[in-house]
Amino acid sequence: MPEHRIDLLARFPWLKEVLRSRAWQPAGALFTLACFVLAISAGLLGTPAGARNFGIIFVWIVWWALLIIGLVPLFGRLWCAICPIPAPGEWFQRRGIIRRSPGRLRGLGLRWPGRLRNIWLQNLGFLLVALFSAIILTRPAATGWVLMGLLLVGTLFGMAFGQRVFCRYVCPVGGFIGLYALLAPVELRVRDREVCRAHASKDCLTGTARSYGCPWLVYPGTLRRNAYCGLCAECLRACPQDNIALNLRPFGADLLVAGERRLDEAYKAFIMLGCALLYSAVLLGPWGWLKNLANMQSLAGWAGYAAGFLAVALVAIPGVFWLATGLARRISGAAAPMRRLFVDYAYGLVPLGLAGWIAFSLSFVLVNGSYALAVVSDPFGWGWDLLGTAHASWRPWLTGFIPALQVLLLLAGLAISITVTYRIACQEQGAAFTGRAWWGTLPIAGFMTGVTVLFLRLYLG
């Protein structure tokens, strides 16, 4: 096991018993499924006024806040374990919800094409949602249709391609959860790889009488990063050697796993950074003309806006980063080719990107969170008052603290990003050349500082 790990299952045996139980994951998924179906129903049948609709408030404010501020930074892909979207499909495959039913998984067992075994589709999906976000985030019907579409596709994929193919290769949310999960301070890993090598029957993949194999198409024996581990703990239930551990570990550890860095993930980092900046400008900024373009007031206007959006996220930001990488390469005298360095250094952007997303989300969650109080009593906007809070009025929370919080987050993200970049540079140079690695960090640090200043200009200036 790598250093700086605390084996939580060894420390807290009760935790192992809880996680090994088959009940917690389906219980979580049933709860989230109930909320999800309620959101779809409210979106399609409830009031078109977004501020009084469960679909809008509990998906884009409550769930999003929980996800980006809590679940992902602290627990990585834990959401994916209880996500409702693939759940009906998974239950169909497993012929059961809690139990381990005997025999093979049910389904067509179609093979997902090799060319799509990456997150490019997810990058595309996220960008599509981003381009239409002014519509989706504000019209309950749009949210309803999108969520229903995801549920249907997730279920059909479960029936056709099996396992969690949808989650790994298609889900637009999964793309960024996977990338930011690299930062999380918990992980499921094997304790000793030698044990796995010696163990012939790979139960963690094939399953046992009490468990299924890993549905994430991952072999726990060689798993080194959180990106594609959905924390469902099937491997924990399966392993007869008690070789699976839930570790507490330093923040950002997976960013330094050098051998698995890829261009599709690097681009996800650019897309997320770009979207955080663009959302902050379009949605939270004061420029009505920009919002009108995003709101599809005219198709031609929106097309121009979409082109600009994509240009920033896919060309401008990676382009400037490419230049910074070139400079870093020149200064540090790194031997690796440009493309390798470009991809590797991009992982340094991940902490800053998450900081930007949390800073952005804090702003609209604190300002609009009070809508949730009323909506919980009247989810459809039909004049109900289930809990007596239906007349709670809108009141922004803690707006005085938001700028300070945003500064704190962005600077923490900046410091961590620079540190990670330096460590990546050290990896490029080899441990003995930390001086050159330091110099090579400077242009990238400059890029990150520029991005931070842009955020600060939008939020505070």
User: Under the criterion CB under 8 A, does residue 442 sit at the interface with other proteins?
Assistant: yes
Q: Which is nearer to other proteins, 50 or 356 (CB)?
A: 50
Contact criterion met (CB below 8 Å) for 84 and 36: yes
Contact criterion met (CB below 8 Å) for 389 and 374: yes
Q: How far apart, in whole angstroms, are the C-alpha atoms of residue 192 and residue 239?
A: 12
Contact criterion met (CB below 8 Å) for 21 and 98: no
**Region class of 348: left (phi > 0), else alpha (psi between -120 and 50), else beta:** alpha
Q: How far apart, in whole angstroms, are the C-alpha atoms of residue 79 and residue 180?
A: 12
Contacts of 330 (CB under 8 A, 6+ apart): none
User: Under the criterion CB under 8 A, does residue 335 sit at the interface with other proteins?
Assistant: no
Q: Which of 107, 185, 285, 308: binder of other proteins (CB under 8 A)? A: 285
For other proteins, the binding residues in 367-386 under the rule CB under 8 A are 367-368, 380-383
User: Under the criterion CB under 8 A, does residue 99 sit at the interface with other proteins?
Assistant: yes
Q: Which of 118, 129, 427, 454: binder of other proteins (CB under 8 A)? A: 427
Alpha-carbon torsion, ordered 90, 91, 93, 95, to 10 deg: 160
Q: Which of 5, 106, 117, 291: binder of other proteins (CB under 8 A)? A: 291
Q: Which of 205, 217, 256, 310: binder of other proteins (CB under 8 A)? A: 256
**In angstroms, what is the minimal distance from the CB of 448 to other proteins?**
8
Q: Which is nearer to other proteins, 2 or 240 (CB)?
A: 2
Question: What angle in degrees, to the nearest 10, is found between the helix axes of 120-131 and 172-181?
Answer: 110
3-class state of residue 202 by DSSP: coil
Beta bridge partner(s), residue 186: 248
**In angstroms, what is the minimal distance from the CB of 363 to other proteins?**
9
Q: Which is nearer to other proteins, 12 or 394 (CB)?
A: 394
3-class state of residue 190 by DSSP: strand
Residues 382-421 as x/- pattern, contact with other proteins by CB under 8 A: xx----------x-x--xx--x---x--xx--xx--xx--
For other proteins, the binding residues in 265-284 under the rule CB under 8 A are 283-284
User: Under the criterion CB under 8 A, does residue 456 sit at the interface with other proteins?
Assistant: yes
Q: Which is nearer to other proteins, 40 or 239 (CB)?
A: 40
User: Under the criterion CB under 8 A, does residue 37 sit at the interface with other proteins?
Assistant: yes
For other proteins, the binding residues in 108-167 under the rule CB under 8 A are 134-135, 138-139
Q: Which of 1, 6, 15, 23: binder of other proteins (CB under 8 A)? A: 23
User: Under the criterion CB under 8 A, does residue 453 sit at the interface with other proteins?
Assistant: yes
Contacts of 311 (CB under 8 A, 6+ apart): none
Output the six-digit token pair for 320. Answer: 């400037």
